[in-house]
Amino acid sequence: MKMPKLKGFEFWRNTLRGARYVVAPMVDQSELAWRLLCRRHGAQLCYTPMLHAQVFVRDANYRKENLYCEVCPEDRPLIVQFCANDPEVFVQAALLAQDYCDAIDLNLGCPQMIAKRGHYGAFLQEEWDLLRRMITLANEKLSVPITCKIRVFPEIAKTVKYAQLLEAAGCQLLTVHGRTKEQKGPLAGVASWEHIQAVRKSVNIPVFANGNIQYLSDVEQCIQKTGAHGVMSAEGNLHNPALFEGRNPVVWEMAEEYLEIVQQYPCPLSYVRAHLFKLWHHTLQIHQQLRDELAKVKTLEGLVAVNKELKLHCQEEMANLKEEDKPKGALPFSHWICQPYMRPGPKETCKENGTKAMEGSNRGKRALEDEDDGCSDSLSKNKQKKKLRNPNKTFDPSLKPKYAKCDQCGNPKGNKCVFNLCRGCCKKRAFRETADCPGHGLLFKTKYEKSLLWKSSQSNLPNTETIAQKGEMKETRLLKESIDGVA
């Protein structure tokens, strides 16, 4: 007998086991190995990384790599998050995922440029009718509850109406990130717990709070201030996966445990490298040469070796540490202790505030750039790494080759295209008009003419079936005559 779908608080208490400590969905960062590490250290609920609904529907390999790869009983309760902007596609993806999780979450909080280009995440927050249709359809079709993760509007009243609309459409649990979609990167600022508190008071479903969580004490303070039923951590969790235990362990303890889990539950090397960069962030500001090594290694064994080398350096420092020595870089703890990373704001803000900690972190962050050539101030670290690999590479926009644009879509057009279009637009037009474009190797007209010639040549040939029938009749007549002659 099929169990009825639980809703709201019943779903939170029974299926999610009243989870209060939640690991956020993080692209390429909340993979299975990391989720298992966090669960060992206090996390009670985890989300998958954000998955693209359209890709999930059409690509079996994408489904296998991101959800179907390992069945792990330890990894529950689990919520799968999708980004989508089409009700039918969202529901198709959710139906494929619902047997592998406890709920499906719709991402309405991603503020990145890729979300703006793809028209999903926080860039759907003004399209209330579309969101109502997406959630209503999912609530009707799925056997598991539908949840949402949102960002706030500047106005508390509008945020409250937004949350109530999602609840009315069928959302069974709401995560509220107390920042607007404009608050990201250096402009992230402080999350508004007042917005979260207002939403919590206005809806009759469980609410998770997200933002400003760096220590376990922040979790308790947030719950007390907002009344939220649980607290979600992203950045704080990446720098200290034992955050929900209330511990600040040495970095290598967490790194070694994570690397052991990765050996059992493999994931792309880029994910592992990114986690080690987060865990070792403060130490790598001091040991820059190991930062470069960590960036260059190509195997899991290589990452393990760099991790051991970092551990040895830190243990040597610990052995020589004096009681009166203070942590470097104005940190609350020594750099080999898991602790939060205070994201520096814009340079103008730092100068106005004159905050020494901010300035110190900026100096550490840009140290690699200062060692480069004269144009280091204008090059990002990523571009500097590319220049190290290829010294002749230039990033001067004036020296980049100029491409003529397609008359229809703006992509680079083919230099020899007869229609002055890119290949995609050219293919559509050539097919529609039964034309050729030698520049793109499209020969619709030529192939059509060849097919007509072949058909006409076939019609001029004598009918082989008729010839065969006549031959059989002639043989039968001759045989009959010979029998009559014998008789």
Distances (CA, A) of 241 to 20, 81, 101, 337, 413: 15, 21, 22, 12, 49
**110: annotated active-site residue:** yes
The answer to whether 15 and 44 are in contact (CB under 8 A) is no
The answer to whether 112 and 74 are in contact (CB under 8 A) is no
Q: What type of residue sits at position 4?
A: P
Here the tokens at position 100 are 């592998």
- Rounded distance, CA 216 to CA 21, Å? 10
The answer to whether 437 and 419 are in contact (CB under 8 A) is yes
Please identify which residue in the block is written with the tokens 């610990």: 318
Angle at which helix 216-226 crosses helix 193-202, to 10 degrees, equals 50
Distances (CA, A) of 143 to 2, 70, 81, 228, 400: 9, 22, 16, 26, 53
Per the omega criterion (within 30 degrees of 0), is the bond before 77 cis? yes
- Rounded distance, CA 156 to CA 196, Å? 9
Cβ contacts of 28 within 8 Å, gap of 6 or more: 49, 268, 270, 271, 274
Choosing from 38, 46, 110, 148, the catalytic residue is 110
Could you tell me where the beta strands, DSSP code E, fall in 279-402? none
For residue 233, the SS3 value is strand
- Rounded distance, CA 13 to CA 23, Å? 18
The DSSP 8-state label assigned to residue 175 in this structure reads: E
The answer to whether 426 and 403 are in contact (CB under 8 A) is no
Cβ contacts of 173 within 8 Å, gap of 6 or more: 8, 11, 12, 16, 103, 145, 147, 148, 205, 206, 207, 208
The residues with which 146 forms a beta bridge, in sequence order, are: 104
| 412: phi then psi, degrees, rounded to nearest 5 | -60, 130
| Residues acting as catalytic residues | 110
